[in-house]
Structure 1
Amino acid sequence: MNHLTLTIDADGIALITLDHAAETMNLVSPEWLAEFAAAVETVATDPAVKGAIVTSGKKAFMAGADLKLLSKGFSKAEALAFSEAPTRMHRRLETCGKPFVAALNGLALGGGFELALACHHRLLVDDPKAVVGLPEVKVGLLPGSGGTQRLIRLIGVQKGLELLLSGAALGPAEALKAGLVDAVVPPGDLITAAKAWLMGAPDPVRAWDRKGYAAPEAGGLLNPGMAALFSMQPAANAAKTFHNDPAPAAITSVVFEGIQLPFDKALAVESKYFAKLLSGPVARNIIRTTFVSKGEAEKLASRPAGVPKANFARVGVLGAGMMGAGIAYVAAVAGAEVVLIDRSQAEADKGKAFAEKTLAREVERGRRSETQADDILSRIRPGEDFAALAGVSLIVEAVFEETAVKADVTRRAQAVAGPDVIFASNTSTLPISGLAEASQRPEGFIGLHFFSPVDRMALVEVILGRRTSQETLAHALDFVAFLRKTPIVVHDSRGFYTSRVFQTFIHEGMAMLGEGIAPALIENAARFAGFPVGPLAVTDEVTLELPMKIIRQAEAEVGQAFERPCGTPVLERMLAAGRGGRKSGGGFYDYPQDGPKRLWPGLADIYPVRADQPDITEIRHRLLAIQALDTARCLEEGVLTTAADGDLGSLLAWGFPSWTGGTLSYIDTVGLEAFVAQCDGFAQRYGSRFEPTPALRRRAAENEPFYPAPDGAERA
């Protein structure tokens, strides 16, 4: 057996040890299911066996299903069969007449915890890393092998529903208090305690299989408590998801229906809801981008082969402002000695002060010890003398976003560090090939675009200049991995990928304002689409000066060939009115000291709201489409090399809605033909920026999605 071992001791206690030989984590798969079902049959049919212990030979007990498998897509029939097989196995386990105890020696999540719930008794090791829970809602699914029905019968409807809708993972003390496990046991006593329970001849019949069983809080809408809960929960789900993610609504329905049914019928209902979610686009989108593509990126799938791995014992950071200070901090946390250079010692010290403040907060919250914080802080060496860069293996430039300034520090740094040191620019918009002209060795020059705040944002956009070598790319990716960040690789252009497409979002919002669309309608439509904030609010945060500066810089460098973005007139008018954004006291919003931000009333004077307002759905689709369309252009132009990088970048860089799976997955979700038709309509009404490219029209005509969809899988 490749997934488990089965032994039976002299007392008739079977020990089933999950231990997938080819994986670091035990996962639910068809192969595992067949082996485990066979082990259950052995326990059930061997008269010498009194009961069974299920544990793991790995540090963790078991996770859920293999997400790579789930991301490939299922038809509804395939998804139903995928759910019904483990459901039958779990049911056989709990009704076979022999008691099973789950000895959870580590993490048990998703399908792994569903297996534990099917056992008659659960023991959890006393280890803070040993968390348990059902997090399926976070990937657009619900527990599909009995998890919803066993949980609510064990701990009650209200507590169970809260855990299912949050997807929370609980540590030992919390899990015991909540009733998810029966006991918490010291690490060395787990198997002994499990066997002792079995030797006590426990009753192997579950409560819900006894005659006359009444489910807790049953009665549906005739039960006043349940009537109140299920009357309000749909509205709470909608307020959180805006109907973009169907999983919370499905979980609520399956709990409501299941608690009123006999157990086996409730399991059948659960499988049907699970199948609908798994065969739908949202779960597929979320799983593919946020788990599979993200995992591949973090394993450095784009790294050129055959290049020896680089190490980063000592690195340099030029510029101790917000970005430079953040980069210095994460590099020091990763273990590097960091030379942090700015124009003066005082400015450099301010950069180190950011690390000091951040570490103090970490210590206060119990995430680091004082000693750990002191060690990290000691690795940051602030100063103004470029000579301190001697001996660094990589330099990240994070100075003012101006070509001449960046060229100056590049020359000064390479004069000390030498031309062979990897030189990376943290520019967000300036073409890397142009910046590399100041370098002694353009082959060793690359872009590393971090996002603010650096310590919390996972993405790094790795930008190849025209002359960047494959060795430089490999070592830049090594550095991103060293920082425990997630890389995407793009080719050089103005704005690269993330800044370029993000700007379409804010400019489209400003263009709508200029058309007389109510600002609250614009902002709410963005929220309803799934964006964390609306385009006007996020423009205030980045400041109105920044996109205006990007426009002027492009005009100076590109000339008449540069086409001004659609929101430029609004930018100019707002800046002329002294409304530069939050940092300057107010922009599209006011920021009173005694309350939350609110839309600036003066907007109505500058941009009167027209009488005929578009439907909120039109605005929602317009904001999503402009970003998706420009991402498709980036892929066609070679700025992006894979659809996965485009999707991952859109989710992690600026918060494109996760239910879509990303900008290109969104096109697939809408359907190519429908998306092209939608863009054609927008082009007629709002301008040529919505005009689909010939390549996108060809894709639609030939039904060639960015990701192949299986037969029977649904689109939105």
Structure 2
Amino acid sequence: MYAGQSVTLKMADSGIAELILDANGASVNVLNAHLQDELGQALAALGTRADVRGLLIYSAKPAFVLGADITEFTELFGMQAADISRWAGKVHGLFNTIEKLPYPTVAAVNGMALGGGLELSLAADFRVADKAAKLGLPEVTLGICPGWGGTVRLSRLVGAEAALGWMLSGKPVKAAQALTQGGLDAAVEADQLLDTARTLLKEAMAGERDYLANRLRKQAALDNNAATAAAMESLKQTLGKGLDVRYPAAPAILATVTSAMTEDFHKALAMEAKTFGELASGVEAKNLVGLFLNDQYLKRETKRWAKQAHPVAKAAVLGAGIMGGGIGYQAALNGTPMLMKDINQEALDLGMSHAGSILDRSISKGRMTEAGKEKVLSGIHPTLTYEGFTEVDYVVEAVVERLDVKRSVLAEVEHKVPDSAIVATNTSTISIDLLAEHLQRPDKFCGMHFFNPVHAMQLVEVIRGSQTSDETVATTVAFAAAMGKTPIVVNDCPGFLVNRVLFPYFNGFNRLVMDGVDFERIDQVMEQFGWPMGPAYLADVIGLDTMVHADKVLEDGFPERMGHDDRPIIESLLEQDALGQKNGVGFYEYGTDEHGKRYKRRSEKVAAILEQRVTRSTEITDAEIVERMMIPMCLETARCLEEHIVASATEADMGLILGLGFPRFRGGALRYIDNLGANLFAAQADAHAECGPLYCLTDDMRAMAESGKTFY
């Protein structure tokens, strides 16, 4: 009947036509423009046949359809909202054609049906899935709404509340839940999927199942009365709580679904298309789609490096405590046994206790069993000696952040492991080349910088020294990925990538405080900008002792830019034994009140220091606070790219997203410059030039502003 490169239509027995999705040369099906075109041709061919009495839709791949082709969104989202809405309307037409066929249709869903894939299955009258299948509408994570009928068909099929649960979370649901809620008609074992789907289709063809009633369920509006209005308003109030308006997709989905439930089916589809166009043309969607594509780029880079990697069957960490325990946990959780060595039994106990507490939290959330916990802990072997180190493939040094101590430990362990073993340092700031100076095998040495808390932070910086071999980098990248982390390769410099761009941000913060801007106001402004916490709170979380140490490393490394006109407030706090959350006193005081409720309040120590040290009082707007905080960070990120510390704008931005919590909807520092426009960013920097060298454009940035070029 029809044979394309992605879609095949053939006649089977009993008047059944089978529409098979099988993209040639691809491991999965995606609803790209090519597949959409072939689907249209197949449906046209189907319309010419009078002998068809039923249609079965299924995939020849391990999964049904994994949504739209996100790579096509970059060009599409550059269009006007109305044009994007019309694009969505064309796919509505395809799916409506399936839904209007004069005979029953069944979709057999295997593996996963996400986004447009689920929407395609919703166009069928019945859906059968294998029990292991997952179904979902993840569009909210890209800053958009389902655009091919998902907001309408699913909400009318399973009810607005259940459908919004799928759409607002973006998380796939298991087949069992979809069946219970009414999104599926059957869930069976994978080897029974097609037979069950064919049987169901034959029953519908024979009139034993009312396919028209099923079709009507997906199209029928709710009665437009006071009870419906009250129910929809209740949903808006309940589900709207906690939605972040800086991510407009979720509020828009909620508003569209609740408004459309009483509308005619085709008007509801038009409402969805309009919302899709408005969201897709917005900057947040462009940024979030950019992050998705960036993440795919990092995965490809990891695979490229992995081709040169040597396997790590057994590893070790030097230095226990919180960091060592976190690294040990992460390795053991993902199947790599790890020795955890320290010279202090208390540190070993703390490391094991920390790993256990992470596992206990997983158990409390239903993600882990007691047996699973014991298995993970059995993969961490605490030791006070080097016994067993002759068998390790990889060692991560995670001792105190002091050059002399690290040099001593690294030189010692190098003689305890096989010549083939890689030794890495978890330093956050100290130069890899400095640490390698007294090593016998500097080619097998690199940085492997985990972020704290290890189990929660996705990024690992893989730092290449001047003598580090490609094989060492490749093995470290592969090992980090095997531990469930996202590695980014950077070249050696003070602070590497993440800390190097973080401390100009803190430098900007200190200048604002010394100009008389209240630190709590700065925190509030930057949290409103999108940061998970403001700079003062972040400093307390990191630890003021750690902050002062890292700040001095950066100041020594880049004295012209990162020196301070005014001595940092963090140094004054540290002199008074204020460590931040480590001892409950920093910019804020932390504790528990008489009712057992945790509190965070302005500390008396910082109030006294500010009263003594701050002599200036500057009138400044919230927008100017954002500029003075963000310009140093963004410019330093651009310098890291110019100096080849990081290989691409993609890796630079993803480092900030994953390592610092840079606001995702803003896309990263370099995409933030692109969104502002390099000319406007340059004008902002020039307006604050009196703040010092951190606010001075590089020659490349000046040229970019003049030419209109972008990072992406």
TM-score in terms of structure 1 length:
0.89
1:298–1:487 CA contact under 8 A, matched in 2 = no
- Give the direction of change, closer, same or farther, for the CA distance of 1:173–1:617 in structure 2 (3 Å limit): farther
Q: Which amino acid aligns with 1:571?
A: I
> Which residue in the other structure is 2:579 paired with?
580
Which aligned pairs between 1:489-504 and structure 2 lie closer than 5 A? 489-504=489-504
Give CA deviations for 1:134-174 in whole Å, capped at 9, x if unaligned: 11011111111111122233234444344322223222232
Are the structure 2 counterparts of residues 99 and 636 from structure 1 closer, same or farther at C-alpha, using a change threshold of 3 Å? same
The residue type paired with residue 10 of structure 2 is: T
Relative distance call for 1:644 and 1:552 in structure 2 (3 A) is closer
Q: Describe the shift of the 1:356–1:261 C-alpha distance in structure 2 as closer, same or farther (beyond 3 A).
A: closer
Unaligned runs of 5+ residues in structure 1 are 708-716
Q: Counterparts of 1:21-32 in structure 2 under 5 Å? A: 21-32=24-35
Structure 2 CA distance for aligned equivalents of residues 220 and 564 of structure 1:
65
Tell me the distance in 2 between the aligned counterparts of 1:24 and 1:664. 33
Contact in 1 for aligned 2:515/2:618 (Cα 8 Å): no
2:649 corresponding residue in structure 1? 643
What is the DSSP-based 3-state SS (H/G/I as helix, E as strand, rest coil) of the residue aligned with 2:285?
helix
Structure 1 vs Structure 2: percent identity of aligned residues? 34
Could you report, residue by residue, the CA deviation over 1:60-113 in whole angstroms, capped at 9, with x for unpaired residues? 222111223324553325634542332110011111222212222232111111
State the SS of the aligned residue for 2:688.
Answer: helix
Match for 2:423: what amino acid?
F
Please name the residue that 1:84 is paired with: 89
Give a deviation string over 1:197-240, Cα, whole Å, max 9, x none: 333335554788799x862264699934445655x589x47x63
Taking structure 1 as reference, are residues 80 and 157 closer, same or farther at Cα in structure 2, changes over 3 Å only? same
Whole-Å separation in 2 of the counterparts to 1:244 and 1:529: 9
1:582: how far off?
1.1
Tell me if structure 1 keeps the 8 A contact 2:9–2:20.
yes
State the Cα distance separating 1:330 from its structure 2 match. 1.9
**Aligned AA (1:381):** H
Equivalences for residues 614-693 of structure 1 within 5 A: 614-684=620-690, 686-693=691-698
After superposition, the C-alpha distances for 1:563-595 in whole angstroms (9 at most, x for unaligned) are 435774311222234432011121111212132
Paired residue type of 1:496: F
**Residue 103 of structure 2 corresponds to which residue in structure 1?**
98
Q: State the match for 1:136 in structure 2.
A: 139
Residue correspondence of structure 1 range 445-456 to structure 2 within 5 A: 445-456=445-456
* Amino acid in the other structure paired with 1:474: A
TM-score (norm 2): 0.90
Provide the residue aligned with 2:285 in structure 1. 283
Residue 261 and residue 511 in structure 1: after superposition, are their counterparts in 2 closer, same or farther (change >3 A)? same
Partner Cα distance (1:214, 1:308) in 2: 57
- In the alignment, the residues of structure 2 paired with residue 145 and residue 304 of structure 1 have an alpha-carbon distance, to the nearest angstrom, of 38
Cα distance in structure 1, aligned partners of 2:672 and 2:19: 44
Query: Contact 1:104–1:123 (CA<8 Å) still a contact in 2?
Result: yes
Check conservation: 1:220, 1:256, Cα contact below 8 A: no
Q: Which stretch of structure 1 is more off in the superposition, 85-94 or 219-228?
A: 219-228
Task: Give 1:111's match in structure 2, choosing from 104, 107, 116.
Answer: 116
Aligned length: 696
- Is structure 2 residue 437 aligned with structure 1 residue 437? yes
Within 2, Cα distance between the matches of 1:165 and 1:615?
34
Deviation per residue, 1:444-494 (Å, 9 max, x gap):
211111112222322111111122122222222222222232111111111
**Secondary structure of 1:487's aligned partner:** strand
Q: Deviations over 1:17-39 (max 9, x none)?
A: 32323222221111111222233
Structure 2 gap ranges (5+): none
State the distance in 2 between where 1:617 and 1:166 align.
Answer: 31
> What corresponds to 1:393 in structure 2?
393
- Give the equivalent residue in structure 1 for 2:256: 254
- Corresponding residue for 2:426? 426
> Is the CA contact (8 Å cut-off) linking 1:157 and 1:216 kept in structure 2?
no
Q: Is the 8 A contact 1:44 1:98 kept in 2?
A: no
* Distance apart, 1:357 and its partner CA: 4.0
Tell me whether 1:593 sits opposite 2:595 in the alignment. no
Query: Matches of 2:60 and 2:565 in 1, distance apart?
Result: 59
Q: Is the 8 A contact 2:305 2:477 kept in 1?
A: no
SS in 1 for 2:462: strand
Q: Does the 8 Å CA contact 2:115/2:136 hold for their aligned counterparts?
A: yes
Contact 1:102–1:122 (CA<8 Å) still a contact in 2?
A: yes
Q: Given the alignment, which residue of 202, 213, 229 partners 1:223?
A: 229
Partners of 2:303 and 2:627 in 1: CA distance: 32
Which deviates more, 176-185 or 463-472?
Answer: 176-185
Equivalent pair of 1:220/1:260 in contact (CA under 8 Å): no
Distance 1:438 1:218, change over 3 A: farther
CA contact (8 A) 2:406 2:435 kept: yes
1:422 & 1:522 partners in 2: Cα distance?
44
Q: Deviation of residue 640 (structure 1)? A: 1.6
Query: 1:508 & 1:220 partners in 2: Cα distance?
Result: 55
Query: Any conservation in 2 of the 1:131–1:172 contact (CA below 8 Å)?
Result: yes
- Kept after mapping to 1: 8 A contact 2:54/2:103: yes
The answer for the alignment partner of 1:180 in structure 2 is 183
Aligned 1:475-490 pairs, distance under 5 A: 475-490=475-490
Using the alignment, how far apart are the partners of 1:147 and 1:38 within structure 2? Answer: 23
Counterpart in the other structure of 1:148: 151
1:269 partnered with 2:271: yes
* Cα-to-partner distance string for 1:481-528 (whole Å, 9 max, x where unaligned): 222321111111110110111223344334333322233322221221
3-state SS of 1:584 partner: coil
Does the 8 A contact of 1:528 with 1:620 survive in 2? no
Q: Distance in 1 between matches of 2:441 and 2:544?
A: 36
Equivalent residue, structure 2, for 1:710:
none
In 1, the alpha carbon distance for the partners of 2:626 and 2:561 equals: 28
| Residues in 2 aligned to 1:558 and 1:148: alpha-carbon distance in whole angstroms | 54
Residue 248 and residue 346 in structure 1: after superposition, are their counterparts in 2 closer, same or farther (change >3 A)?
Answer: closer
| Letter aligned with residue 592 of structure 2 | Q
1:468 aligns with 2:468: yes
3-state DSSP of counterpart to 1:11? helix
The aligned residue for residue 163 of structure 1 is: 166
Cα distance in 2, alignment partners of residues 364 and 227 from structure 1 = 34
Shift of 1:370: 4.9
CA-atom RMSD in angstroms:
3.0
Letter of the structure 1 residue corresponding to residue 649 of structure 2: A
In structure 2, C-alpha distance between the alignment counterparts of 1:162 and 1:334, rounded to whole Å:
30
Bigger relative contact order, structure 1 or 2, given CA contacts below 8 A and separation 6+?
1
Output aligned runs, 1:551-566, within 5 Å: 551-553=551-553, 563-565=562-564
Specify the SS of the correspondent of 1:390: helix
Out of 619-628 and 688-697, give the one that drifted further: 619-628
SS of corresponding position for 1:117: helix
Q: Matches of 2:631 and 2:560 in 1, distance apart?
A: 25
2 CA distance for matches of 1:481 and 1:567?
A: 42
Deviation at 1:601, TM superposition (A): 5.2
**Cα distance in 1 for residues equivalent to 2:97 and 2:45:** 12
Give 1:284's aligned amino acid: K
